Structure 1
Amino acid sequence: MTRLDQLPRWLAWASLPLVILLLLFAFWSWDWFIPLAERRASAAIGRPVTIAHLHLRLGRVVVLTAEDVRIANPPGFVADPPFAQAERLIARIDLLGSWRAAALVLPEVEIVKPVVEAAAHEDRRSNWVLDVAAAPPGQPSSLRIGTLRITEGVAHIVLPHLEADLRLAIATREEAGTAPRLAADITGTYAGQPITGQALGGAVLDLQADAPWALSLQLANGPTRISLEGTLRDPLALRGAELRLVMQGPDMALLEKLTGVPIPRTPNYEVAGRLDYAEDRFRFSEIAGRVGQTDIDGTLTVGTAGTRVNVEGELHSRRVDLADLGGFIGEEPGRVTTPGQTPEQRRDLARNEARARMLPDEPINLPKLQSTDIRISYRADSVIGRNVPFDSLRAELEIKEGVVHLRPLTLGVGRGQIAGNVTLTPAEEGRMQAEADVQFQRLDLSRLMQATRTFEGAGTISGRARIQGAGNSFAAILGAGNGTLTLAMSGGNLSALLVDLSGLRLANALLSSLGVPGRTAVQCFVGDLVLQRGVLNLRTVLLDTEDVLVAATGSVNLARERLDVRLRSESKSFTIGTLPTSILIAGSFRNPSVGPELGELAARGGAAVGLAALLAPVAGLLPTIQFGIGEDNRCEAMVRRGARPAAR
């Protein structure tokens, strides 16, 4: 056989590899490599990974497509739905770049229609923590990803301990000159309340980079608005924060659902500050804003470790409107005239002013107090209010396991102050056991009168109040309380004292009926009152002026908010035109009636006899009087004079 005859056989053998290669490509399936890819991916994240199909397009830049990729839940969670899945995962592989870098170089990765089911149990175990192996220190990563894109992503987040069920529509947003940024639209519930929002972060691949990661978050929870702008150096651990937080809304009590911290009702507010997080504690610092007409600044820290929320802070106001703090004692906060109040708040305020009762009767919320430990220091440089005489305010508030301590609560009045310690302890049937010890220390009478636009008078008032009681509101506590109140004063102006300090707004007709000139100097005022089961009995109340001696008897029922007080005067000189009877102040706190007590005939004797009779019971108040007046001995001399046996 000639060599020419052997040519066809040689060509057949020579073409066999090509035929085999063509057949291989015709019937090749990249799915054969799925087990290898699944093992590698599972080892990389410490969680089982499954892939339905693999496709490979060859070239200088190889395109690898994985279809129906799933990442399983960890043990203890339901198997379906899985933690994460994606319709397609497309990775472009730079072969030449990978050879040069001795690492897998992926210029671009795209995740199409990913779905994440992030969940946590009541014990806060979660399914989103992956065991991603990091490169050893000093050794570069074996994986280099240039750009990551996400299209039509969805995340469902369920956090029972926060009553959160959120759905996020997630995608990357293209911006010129930057890597695609992560964006999300938020809907669902948080703390059981509807919530909506938008978030814009940095590049997804920068989440684990040691560089600032940009974040912009806008949330709406009903009428509450929250804005968060800035950067995080470690976003996945919430560390290295340089964030500005702005919160605004009609009532800070609504923030409880978002923060887990119980806050009393307030007027409308807007506060801003710097937010960071470290060691399970959120820190809100450099606070600046307002609550109603009260400015506020300072620092708050909220600890989330353990079963109880822990709140600590130092807050300060240059000027506080006491009406804005009404929610702390169970009153409607703010005023009808406070700017920015909602129609509902104005209606509630108008309804509160029109109601018959005056003492705050909103129940104290014990479950809220018992779920959070609080330690806050607050001070205000100046105080405004409805004719209040206070110049400054300072309070040290501590709540631990439901027990409330105010120690001290201090109100400045001129050169003096009202200072007290208050304790509220949980009792049975949702009530609070209250104890208060309050001292009135040299209160400046001229400052008291300035508050009511009366600029005359001088002197100081001092004394002490001790109260115990139990109830589910401040009104109930006072309405069942027991205790004592003693007061002493020297100097001043009678008109201001009776009309302004008593709060009864007595008219000039009352002074005339008592035989008291409208402008007469006060020599001394002493009072000894006892509170028994909510009834304040005027054991001894005595006012000595240049012209007349006035005594008050009767009682004030705090439970029913009713007055039954009689004023009786003894003239120090001959007068005409005065009524020979007591003046009766009776009725409700909000609408008292004032007039002569009909049917009573006043047996008026000499001034000396009346003086002795009225002064005798107050001799035991000398220590309080001496403490209150200091070097001014007018009250002390009067009481000693009255304590001597009367001339016969």
Structure 2
Amino acid sequence: MTQKRPQSRWIVLSLLLLTVATLVLIWDWDWFRPLVERQASAALGRPVTLQRFNLDLGRYPLVSADGIVVANPEGFPADSRMAAVGRLAIRIDPLRLWQREINLQEIRIDGIEADLRPDAAGKPNWQLDRSKDEDSGPSRWTLEIAQLQIGNGRVHVLEPRLKADFDLRIRTEPAADGEPRLHLDAEGQYNDAPIVAHFIGGSLLGLRQPERPYPVQFDAVNGNTRIDLKGSLLQPMQFGGAKLDLRLRGDSLAALYGLSGVPLPPTAAYELKGRLDYEQGRVRFRDFSGTVGHSDLSGQLAVDLRRERRLVTAQLHSKKVVLADLGGFVGATPGKDEAASETPQQEAEREQAQAHERVLPDQPINLPKLRAADLDIEYKADRIESELPFDSLSAHLVSREGELQLKPLRFTVGDGQIAGNIELDGHSDVVHFVGDMDFRRIDLKRLVRDNPALNGTGLIGGSVRLDSYGNSTAQILGSGDGELKLYMNRGQLSALLVNLAGLEFGKALLSAIGLPSETNVRCAIADFGMKEGLLDTRLLLVDTGEANILGDGSINLRDETLDYRIHTKPKRFGIASLRAPITIGGSFRDPRLRPDWERLAVRGGAAVALGALIGPLAALLPTVELGLGDDNDCKALVDEIKAEAANLPAEMEKEKKAEKGAKKAAASKSKNP
């Protein structure tokens, strides 16, 4: 009797084990599906449903789920879904769970379908509420994944703020080393332009292995912008330890704004290549070089992502720059110079601008770009190719929260220079502009270098001050207050007029004045006040060997019209010298000359005007010497005018007698033909 009891116990235990084994083998694991759905829904903060849940036992049990659907959060239609997965299979090592380690031997995901987009308020549906996880503190569990495979998946991305609407296909493919490589292909719209992109990276598991370089190969075509990136990362999740070669090509640097968030102006076509890395929260484009149009460009650029407003710093250098390639910096259409590289679109924009009746650039200042980021950019160009006479350029641009300063901006012209400061305040809807520029000892020879027939001997100096409001160059000039002063010492009158008014109009004006083209200038002084875009003459005097030329009137920068008069006072009086004043009217694009016969009868006007210039001339002498140097003839001109003023009564009487004599001779001739 006592021997049968142990046997019966073993029989009972065996039956229990057999029963449990039978239950395990025939158990429908789908019974746990509601529990899994509740746990997944709580973790993601939105409803999650499964069509089937199963567990296959073994040394490494296989947990699988089919027909997974993740619904959209609140704010989307109730029947819409964010993502679906055809099948998710996970093979786990159960023994490691005793050590608080989740060891996943294999993860296989097939049939991914996702639709990522923001709701009406702009909140993206892929943004999860992780506040509960953060409140629970750090987890005591560790996660380790041995292998991850993804079948063909498709993700649709819609983001209006980025002007993006594209499809992303994702998969893993085996590589030569046996590890599956991650492949991403994108096609659709991004930054309001077509995009086609391809990415090949290491295995997804390599993202968590900092001791192994993670290979990266990426290329994209977005509109006319092409990006090629190749290299490796030691810490891909932090973009650390980067050894990446970056190559950028496109029609204009401005197109990179939507891709990088870095506000850049319109330029000519470009191609740049350099090294890309990341250090202490800063993405850096290092040691890059290339071309912008027909200009070379090299240097360093960094974007600091740690600040609430990103900070862009750069040190840029050009050995040679074609100024028109960078025309977008001043609101002009890039590619205006014949030497510059133009795309068909830029050529069409330039031709349209030239056909427009206005001359001053009216391209709007991009206020969102002005406010988009803070900038600290230094630029130096050793040699400038342009219709303008500049030799070299250096500038330091600083922008903080929509306030931009260009201090200093400096051009060299021969042995002289043009230097100044510019400030733009873009806080309000209309930009506030404050600027000043000084011209010192500008060699006239540099201004007439394209016309060897002109005598370019002489120096030019002066200054410009402007305080204005407007959202384009034309608006700023057309509404500003300030002043313009220009001085010239020696040189040729034809060279001066051609550079101020253009070749054809300059020749016509010279002919109307009645002076030979070889007339030498001893001293020229121009002083204009500016009020609400209207340049009004304080003083205009050109002293030549033949005559003194005076000007009065106004130049309207708002509507680009001219209302000006030129008076000539010959130094040697004669009947032939009795010329009518010249009136200059019309527009900047179509100026017109005509003699003012009504003013011819008013004799002595030029002489009286000369006398009235003594005070203004004497006041301007210190600034004339600053712009031209001590060795100038304008001081001698002031002394001569003082002497002439003393003889004004006699001069006027002489002119009256000459005029009476001319009338008497004409009357006698008519009586005795």
TM-score normalised by structure 2 residue count: 0.79
CA deviations on 1:233-263 (whole Å, 9 max, x unpaired) are 2222222222233333323333322223333
Greater Cα offset, 20-29 or 410-419: 20-29
The one-letter code matched in structure 2 to 1:570 is K
Contact 1:551 1:614 (C-alpha < 8 Å) held by counterparts? no
In structure 2, C-alpha distance between the alignment counterparts of 1:605 and 1:94, rounded to whole Å: 111
Equivalent residue runs for 1:27-38 within 5 Å:
27-29=25-27, 31=29
CA deviations on 1:168-226 (whole Å, 9 max, x unpaired) are 21111223235221001123554566543221111111011112211122223333332
Who is 1:627 aligned against? Answer: 626
Equivalent residue runs for 1:36-75 within 5 Å:
52-56=52-56, 58=58, 64-68=62-66
Greater Cα offset, 182-191 or 25-34: 25-34
SS at the partner of 2:448?
helix
Who is 1:518 aligned against? Answer: 517
CA deviations on 1:583-607 (whole Å, 9 max, x unpaired) are 2322111121234333432677799
In structure 2, the CA distance between the partners of 1:346 and 1:338, relative to structure 1 (3 Å rule), is farther
> By how many angstroms is 1:411 displaced?
1.9
The one-letter code matched in structure 1 to 2:565 is R
In structure 2, C-alpha distance between the alignment counterparts of 1:142 and 1:563, rounded to whole Å: 78
SS at the partner of 2:404?
strand
> By how many angstroms is 1:492 displaced?
1.8
In structure 2, the CA distance between the partners of 1:63 and 1:323, relative to structure 1 (3 Å rule), is same
In structure 2, the CA distance between the partners of 1:610 and 1:482, relative to structure 1 (3 Å rule), is closer
Who is 2:424 aligned against? Answer: 424
In structure 2, the CA distance between the partners of 1:564 and 1:178, relative to structure 1 (3 Å rule), is farther
Contact 2:234 2:241 (C-alpha < 8 Å) held by counterparts? yes
Structure 2 residue 207 is matched with structure 1 residue 207: yes
Who is 1:180 aligned against? Answer: 180
In structure 2, the CA distance between the partners of 1:194 and 1:509, relative to structure 1 (3 Å rule), is closer
Who is 1:582 aligned against? Answer: 581
SS at the partner of 2:320?
strand
Who is 2:407 aligned against? Answer: 407
Who is 1:480 aligned against? Answer: 479
Greater Cα offset, 483-492 or 567-576: 567-576
In structure 2, the CA distance between the partners of 1:84 and 1:241, relative to structure 1 (3 Å rule), is farther
Q: Identity across aligned pairs (percent)?
A: 38
The one-letter code matched in structure 2 to 1:296 is L
In structure 2, C-alpha distance between the alignment counterparts of 1:201 and 1:128, rounded to whole Å: 29
Equivalent residue runs for 1:14-413 within 5 Å:
20=18, 24=22, 27-29=25-27, 31=29, 52-56=52-56, 58=58, 64-68=62-66, 86-90=85-89, 109-115=107-113, 126-127=127-128, 143=144, 145=146, 147-155=147-155, 162=162, 167-190=167-190, 195-210=195-210, 211-305=212-306, 307-335=308-336, 337=338, 341-385=342-386, 387-413=387-413
SS at the partner of 1:240?
coil
In structure 1, C-alpha distance between the alignment counterparts of 2:369 and 2:608, rounded to whole Å: 59
In structure 2, C-alpha distance between the alignment counterparts of 1:202 and 1:513, rounded to whole Å: 78
Greater Cα offset, 631-640 or 115-124: 115-124
> By how many angstroms is 1:419 displaced?
1.3
SS at the partner of 1:450?
coil
Contact 1:405 1:422 (C-alpha < 8 Å) held by counterparts? yes
In structure 1, C-alpha distance between the alignment counterparts of 2:75 and 2:201, rounded to whole Å: 29
> By how many angstroms is 1:526 displaced?
1.3
The one-letter code matched in structure 2 to 1:555 is S
The one-letter code matched in structure 1 to 2:515 is V
> By how many angstroms is 1:358 displaced?
0.4
Who is 2:545 aligned against? Answer: 546
Contact 1:514 1:578 (C-alpha < 8 Å) held by counterparts? no
In structure 2, C-alpha distance between the alignment counterparts of 1:646 and 1:123, rounded to whole Å: 83
SS at the partner of 2:325?
helix
Greater Cα offset, 160-169 or 303-312: 160-169
> By how many angstroms is 1:64 displaced?
2.6
Task: Flag the structure with higher strand content.
Answer: 1
In structure 2, C-alpha distance between the alignment counterparts of 1:225 and 1:504, rounded to whole Å: 43
Who is 1:3 aligned against? Answer: none
Contact 1:369 1:402 (C-alpha < 8 Å) held by counterparts? yes
SS at the partner of 2:646?
coil
Equivalent residue runs for 1:570-609 within 5 Å:
570-573=569-572, 580-601=579-600
In structure 2, C-alpha distance between the alignment counterparts of 1:104 and 1:354, rounded to whole Å: 71
CA deviations on 1:274-324 (whole Å, 9 max, x unpaired) are 223344433222232333333222222223445533322222222222323
In structure 2, C-alpha distance between the alignment counterparts of 1:484 and 1:542, rounded to whole Å: 17
In structure 2, the CA distance between the partners of 1:29 and 1:581, relative to structure 1 (3 Å rule), is same
In structure 2, C-alpha distance between the alignment counterparts of 1:511 and 1:46, rounded to whole Å: 82
SS at the partner of 1:267?
coil
> By how many angstroms is 1:496 displaced?
1.0
SS at the partner of 1:643?
helix
In structure 1, C-alpha distance between the alignment counterparts of 2:624 and 2:110, rounded to whole Å: 84
The one-letter code matched in structure 1 to 2:227 is I
- Give the alignment's Cα RMSD to 1 decimal: 4.5
In structure 2, the CA distance between the partners of 1:371 and 1:504, relative to structure 1 (3 Å rule), is same
The one-letter code matched in structure 2 to 1:111 is I
SS at the partner of 2:463?
strand
CA deviations on 1:466-506 (whole Å, 9 max, x unpaired) are 22222232212221222222222212222211112444643
Greater Cα offset, 582-591 or 337-346: 337-346
The one-letter code matched in structure 2 to 1:411 is F
Contact 2:185 2:197 (C-alpha < 8 Å) held by counterparts? yes
In structure 1, C-alpha distance between the alignment counterparts of 2:401 and 2:559, rounded to whole Å: 32
In structure 2, the CA distance between the partners of 1:455 and 1:509, relative to structure 1 (3 Å rule), is closer
Equivalent residue runs for 1:2-17 within 5 Å:
none
SS at the partner of 2:620?
helix
CA deviations on 1:402-438 (whole Å, 9 max, x unpaired) are 222222222221111111122223476x322222222
The one-letter code matched in structure 1 to 2:390 is F
Contact 1:212 1:233 (C-alpha < 8 Å) held by counterparts? yes
Contact 1:626 1:636 (C-alpha < 8 Å) held by counterparts? no
In structure 2, the CA distance between the partners of 1:486 and 1:180, relative to structure 1 (3 Å rule), is same
In structure 2, the CA distance between the partners of 1:574 and 1:279, relative to structure 1 (3 Å rule), is same
In structure 2, C-alpha distance between the alignment counterparts of 1:16 and 1:424, rounded to whole Å: 89
In structure 2, the CA distance between the partners of 1:55 and 1:323, relative to structure 1 (3 Å rule), is same
The one-letter code matched in structure 2 to 1:29 is W
TM-score normalised by structure 1 residue count: 0.82
Equivalent residue runs for 1:414-453 within 5 Å:
414-426=414-426, 430-450=429-449, 452-453=451-452
Contact 1:412 1:418 (C-alpha < 8 Å) held by counterparts? yes
In structure 2, the CA distance between the partners of 1:552 and 1:177, relative to structure 1 (3 Å rule), is same
Who is 1:5 aligned against? Answer: none
> By how many angstroms is 1:636 displaced?
1.0
Contact 1:336 1:349 (C-alpha < 8 Å) held by counterparts? no
In structure 2, C-alpha distance between the alignment counterparts of 1:80 and 1:127, rounded to whole Å: 19
Greater Cα offset, 111-120 or 252-261: 111-120
Greater Cα offset, 501-510 or 531-540: 501-510
In structure 2, C-alpha distance between the alignment counterparts of 1:95 and 1:563, rounded to whole Å: 90
In structure 2, C-alpha distance between the alignment counterparts of 1:241 and 1:71, rounded to whole Å: 37
Contact 2:431 2:470 (C-alpha < 8 Å) held by counterparts? yes
In structure 2, C-alpha distance between the alignment counterparts of 1:328 and 1:367, rounded to whole Å: 15
> By how many angstroms is 1:353 displaced?
0.8
Contact 2:579 2:600 (C-alpha < 8 Å) held by counterparts? yes
In structure 2, C-alpha distance between the alignment counterparts of 1:465 and 1:506, rounded to whole Å: 24
CA deviations on 1:115-137 (whole Å, 9 max, x unpaired) are 5677889689943989999999x
In structure 1, C-alpha distance between the alignment counterparts of 2:488 and 2:401, rounded to whole Å: 41
CA deviations on 1:128-148 (whole Å, 9 max, x unpaired) are 989999999xx9x88462x43
The one-letter code matched in structure 2 to 1:353 is Q
Unpaired segments of 5 or more residues in structure 2? 1-6, 651-673
Unpaired segments of 5 or more residues in structure 1? 1-8
